[in-house]
Copies of this chain bind each other. A is one copy, B any other.
Amino acid sequence: MPSGVRGRPRSEGSRQRILAATRDLLLESGYDQLSIAAIADAAGVGRQTLYRWWPSKASIVAECVIENVLPLRTVVADPERPALECLRAWLGESRRRLAMPDQLALFRALTAAAASDETARLRLDALFGGAIRHSLRSALERGVESGELRADLPIETVADLLIGGMLYRLVRADEEAGDAVEDTLKLLAP
């Protein structure tokens, strides 16, 4: 019974080293300064190996995110805890992350990647529109059911607004004033 695979197989070690090198360089110097040649050199890998497997710089970065190589473990709402508490935790934790220079730079890099490259946009949207939006949505639904949140809450729209609010902080230059977390929750309360 013949196998369908001929020739030397793809090197998993190289792939891992490429993702690790991308992560390091991205955290060091940001998305714009990241070059494919530098990734290849840092990973000890031929340049063609990168071009063979990824169509663009942005998609390598996106794969780093998907593979959890980049420290982007998003706060996922815990289905056991009350909805309001979940949302408060997500809002607060997100804000804390964006106050850390490393994480801020990283998120900005991802935003730049998504804004300029179609492939990266698709992959990143799969993450944010998938994992994050789903967990937010479920927390909102639980809140509505339990009466913690307004009964007429437009779930989809609110989830979009919450994620957008995070995003807006990335491209803002100044610091935010006031207790945005509680203000946001007030909006959702009955």
- Which residues of A line the B interface, CB within 8 A? 30-32, 108-109, 111-112, 114-118, 121-122, 124-126, 129, 152-154, 156-158, 160-174, 176-178, 180, 183-184, 186-188
Interface of A is mostly: helix
> What is the total number of copies of this protein in its complex?
4
The 8 Å CB contact of A116, one of B31, B152, B153, is B31
Contact A171 B114, beta carbon cutoff 8 Å: yes
CA distance A154 to B170 in the complex (A): 21
The 8 Å CB contact of A178, one of B121, B157, B183, is B157
The 8 Å CB contact of A157, one of B111, B166, B180, is B180
CA distance A153 to B187 in the complex (A): 7
User: Which residues of the other chain, B, contact A178 by a CB distance below 8 angstroms?
Assistant: 154, 156-157
Contact B129 A158, beta carbon cutoff 8 Å: no
Q: Which chain B residue shows the least CB distance to A182? A: B154
Pick 28 A–B contacts, CB within 8 A, sort by A: A30-B116, A32-B116, A32-B117, A108-B115, A109-B115, A111-B111, A111-B171, A112-B116, A115-B115, A115-B171, A121-B173, A122-B173, A124-B171, A125-B173, A125-B174, A153-B187, A156-B180, A157-B184, A160-B165, A160-B169, A160-B176, A161-B162, A161-B165, A163-B164, A164-B164, A164-B167, A165-B165, A187-B187
